Amino acid sequence: MLKTDIVNRGSKNVIFTAMQDTYAWDLKSKDVGPDPFYERNLNDLISYQKKYAEAVGADYRYYHGDLVSFVKEKLPGIIDLRLFIQYYDFARYIIMHELSLAYDKILYIDSDIVPITKKSIFDEITEQDSFYTHWFYLETCPFFDEMQTYLKFLKPKNFIYKGHTNCGVLAARGVAIKKMFDTSFDKMMEFFKTIDSNYEPEHVIYVGFEHLFMYLKGTDQINFNLRNFNEQNRWNVYAMKGFCDPLEDILIKLKKNKKHEGFLHFCGGEAKKWYEEQKDNINELIKETFGE
């Protein structure tokens, strides 16, 4: 069963994240246990997200526990998937749908997202038929070339965008989520089964929820728009992967100029290491943004 840390404000908007208590990428692996990074830092990361939810007047939900059992309970007929990430993606999809029955706007953020702003991201979520995420653009990158080669077996018409989508920040109106859940579930199951059956350890890390959206877009299964938070400088989501946004430069920009405020996404081992090295500076930014 999932446990839920809930902060209710009677809002029409909600922010949520989720975390598996014990972790193994490959569920057939014997290497299972808590993630050391989150053991050291999760309480602080959740506290930062709660500060942001309070600042924008949103409700907040932190789901944690056994996400695999949660999915199997909610979807009794689901096949036994090998990869934990597939269960995680199903879990947040199910949670988004359940929240859409009670909220007007839903924002999912990864547990390694650190908000450095009091500006409400919900003001950007205006369209009824759109999902909002973020992606970054690189003209050439071996990472993307390898990903495109691996994903060709999916064969939708518009599968690869010019850039890489990241659903560490994912938002939509409740009506869009309900529409997607009601009309695309079979295609979603087909997608994850295909990914699972084509399991290759050196590649599969690149395949997740973000690619589901590109897949559904390419199959013409449903009609929806995929909007980029970073487009036209409306919102800043810095994907802290080292090869994407220079880590030190972001802190300097944030300290000097409010226009760079936004979300920091510490996705990947290099970024998480840097987070721990810069934790004092990040705490200083949090205090400057939200107060003590």
| 248 vs 58: which has the higher pLDDT | 58
**Banded model confidence at residue 139, pLDDT cuts 50, 70, 90:** very low
For 160-186, what is each residue's pLDDT tens digit? 444 556 778 889 999 988 888 777 777
d(CA 254, CA 261): 6
**What pLDDT does 99 receive?**
96
What is the predicted pLDDT for the residue at 247? 57
How far apart, in Å, are the Cα atoms of 48 and each of 45, 53, 135? 5, 9, 23
pTM (predicted TM-score): 0.85
The residue type of 34 is P
Instruction: Give, in degrees to the nearest 5, the angle at Cα 41 between 36 and 44.
Output: 165
* Structural domains of the chain in order of their starting residue, each with its CATH number: 2-235 (3.90.550)
Place of tokens 């909610």: 74
Please give the single-letter amino acid code of residue 273: K
Length in residues, the chain: 292
Asked whether the beta carbons of 167 and 263 are under 8 A apart, the reply is no
Mean pLDDT of 125-148: 65
The alpha-helical segments, DSSP class H, found in the chain are: 36-56, 67-74, 84-100, 142-150, 174-197, 209-219, 247-256, 269-277, 279-290
What kind and span of H or E run contains 269? helix 269-277
Mean pLDDT of the chain: 77
